[in-house]
Chains A and B, each alone.
Chain A
Amino acid sequence: MELYMALTIGVLFAVGVYLILSKSLLRIILGTSLVTHAIHLLLLTTARLKTGAAPLLGEKAESYVDPLPQALILTSIVISFGVTSFFFVLAYKAYQRLGTDDMEELRGREDE
């Protein structure tokens, strides 16, 4: 199971990095979301995908899955939500003010 997850994560990373290296700003932001998805799955996977009950004590099971990575992922998801929404608004604002979403044209000159 971990092997398949590792392959999926690898593909997500590859696609994310490919998108980040492109010219258009929106593709770059999509790329960052894909990379974030990849790291969240990675967190889940490296903590071992053994079968067990959901981490609720009411389940009264023999064994539970590891609760710690789930808490870490939850934290990380919220943080990346915040940053991504800020990034989107910034991209919108930059498009309004600068009139382009092409990173080549956003290189910048000193005389602005």
Chain B
Amino acid sequence: MNNLVVLPLLIPLLTAVVLIFLFKKVQLQRWISLVSLLINIVVAALLVGQVSEKGIQTLYMGGWLPPYGIVFVADMFSALLVLTTLAAAAGCLLYAFRTVGEKREKYYFYPFLQFLLAGVIGSFMTGDLFNLFVCFEVMLISSYVLIVLGGSRRQLRETLKYILINILSSALFVASMAILYGTIGTLNMAHISVRVAEAQQGGMLNIISIMFLIVFALKAGLFLFYWLPGSYSVPPTAVIALFGALLTKVGLYAVIRTFTLMFYHDQGFTHTIIAWMAAATMILGGIGAAAYKDVHRILNYNVILSVGFIAFGLSVATRESLDGTVLYLIHDMIAKALLFILGGMMISAANSSHLDQMGGLIKKYPAVGWMFFVLALALVGIPPLSGFTGKVLMVSGGIEGGQFWLTAVAVMSSLMVLYSLIRVFMGAFWREDPMLPVTERKKWPVSVYVSAGALFIIVIGLGLGAEWVYSFASQAGEVLSNPSIYIDAVLKE
């Protein structure tokens, strides 16, 4: 029992409620939301420290012992993801301050951002399947509003599709939960895992696990990603950065949790399907990233590509590759937030998102240019930078697990990341074209530079301090590869 476990969820929830009353006072809203996020980062860091010292922390809501009550569980995986979420969200919030527009800020932008965070963090922490569904809905409803806020024609059009696809996947989520409850009669994740082990996964349980895979793959953009490129190109940059960093990763977290904790008995069946989906996602994402000349599209397909890559780490499911998956997931959340922020800066500097209408930005914006370049190398996984350790562990885990073709596709996908991002870099920053309209040098407010700079420092820090980060990530990988640790922590007497 540890009340610290629920604080990362409670702080954004309370902040959101307070912010609703202050909707006219924009300056006050900014300060309150920033301060609450910073406090929350400290709380999450404390939680990570506690988990690394004392093992998995649990909180039984209302004192009801599992499986009867709802339990909140902070193992190292979820604690790390919560900390990363908050760091990425703080970067996006700082970027939003002066770029998102006063009109949005007056119409509840900050409360919805906090509600989104509450949903994301709740999804990471909960130990109950139906509670996971509720947290998903909290997150999704806030994301509907954040996408459509502003109400331009494109936003309305794309939000219609985004809502429809998410209503359907949520309906499927409840349906699969209903069948699961009918089959084994419990909704607590640890208890489900015990019952699935008793019932010998196969037949019906395999079908349920594939239904869950479809649901979470829809949310994560794993193979079923056709909704993503359109939806993620309409809202303002700060919102896209938040979505690119957090939303798909929550789906991925759910996939990883489901197939390491609950349905891990028939890996020949389930993990082969995940492997095929991961390979297809990497290939299609790579093709998409190479095909477009629109910066938004290229970055969105890069999100899809990395989702495929992380799913590859899960599908191999050796200890080493799971460690790598955790490391890469953390790196990817921060790096994607920064990538979209820098992309947004490029687009606003050139007044266009089309690569043909950009060029020669490096002279006016050397800092943005070189940050983008280093970030591109980090995403590819060039050694001193942050993407490297995770990728190495996943690739060597893949070879060890005998998945040679899949590993080859994963390595090739890194090349596609390199190609697409360097194409953006060369097109936007280097090429001098006399035909281009001369735009004046844009001066961004300080908060924009602070947000990009802070995220950049984290990306560099994750690379240079890889050994230190790895000591935490391997603790997370240990729980993922050995679910009995999790089950014992939750269902202890």
Contact = CB atoms under 8 A, between A and B. Distances in A.
Nearest to A86: B144
B contacts with A: majority SS: helix
Interface in A43-84: 43, 45-48, 68-69, 72, 75-76, 79-80, 82-83
A91 B178 contact: no
A97 B168 contact: no
Contacts of A72: 130, 174, 177, 181
Contacts of A83: 137, 141, 144, 163, 167, 170
Contacts of B137: 79, 83
A28 B164 contact: yes
A1 interface: no
Contacts of A90: 144, 148, 156, 159-160, 163
Interface in A31-47: 32, 35-36, 38-40, 42-43, 45-47
B158 A108 contact: yes
Given A47-B182, A83-B141, A39 B174 contact: yes
A32 B167 contact: yes
Interface residues of A, number: 36
B130 A69 contact: no
A42 B258 CA distance: 22
Interface of A is mostly: helix
B157 A106 contact: yes
B164 A98 contact: no
Contacts of A47: 178, 181-182
Of B141, B160, B168, B170, chain A has the most CB atoms within 10 Å of the CB of B160
A35 B171 contact: yes
Interface residues of B, number: 34
B199 to A, nearest CB: 15
B141 A93 contact: no
Contact of B130 (A46, A75, A106): A75
B175 interface: yes
B294 A76 contact: no
Given A42-B178, A76-B174, A110-B294, A86 B156 contact: no
B429 to A, nearest CB: 23
A112 interface: yes
Given A47-B182, A94-B160, A108-B230, A32 B174 contact: no
Interface string B130-147: 100110010001001100
Given A48-B182, A87-B167, A79 B156 contact: no
A48 B183 CA distance: 10
A35 B160 contact: no
B154 A108 contact: yes
A42 B173 CA distance: 12
Nearest to B144: A86
17 contacts: A32-B167, A32-B171, A35-B171, A36-B171, A38-B171, A45-B178, A46-B181, A46-B182, A69-B181, A79-B134, A80-B167, A86-B163, A87-B167, A94-B156, A94-B157, A98-B157, A108-B157
Interface of B: 130, 133-134, 137, 141, 144-145, 148, 151, 153-154, 156-161, 163-164, 167-168, 170-171, 174-175, 177-179, 181-183, 187, 230, 294
Interface of A: 20, 25, 28, 32, 35-36, 38-40, 42-43, 45-48, 68-69, 72, 75-76, 79-80, 82-83, 86-87, 90-91, 93-94, 97-98, 106, 108, 110, 112
The 7 tightest CB contacts between A and B, nearest first, are: A46-B182, A43-B178, A94-B156, A42-B178, A39-B174, A46-B178, A39-B175
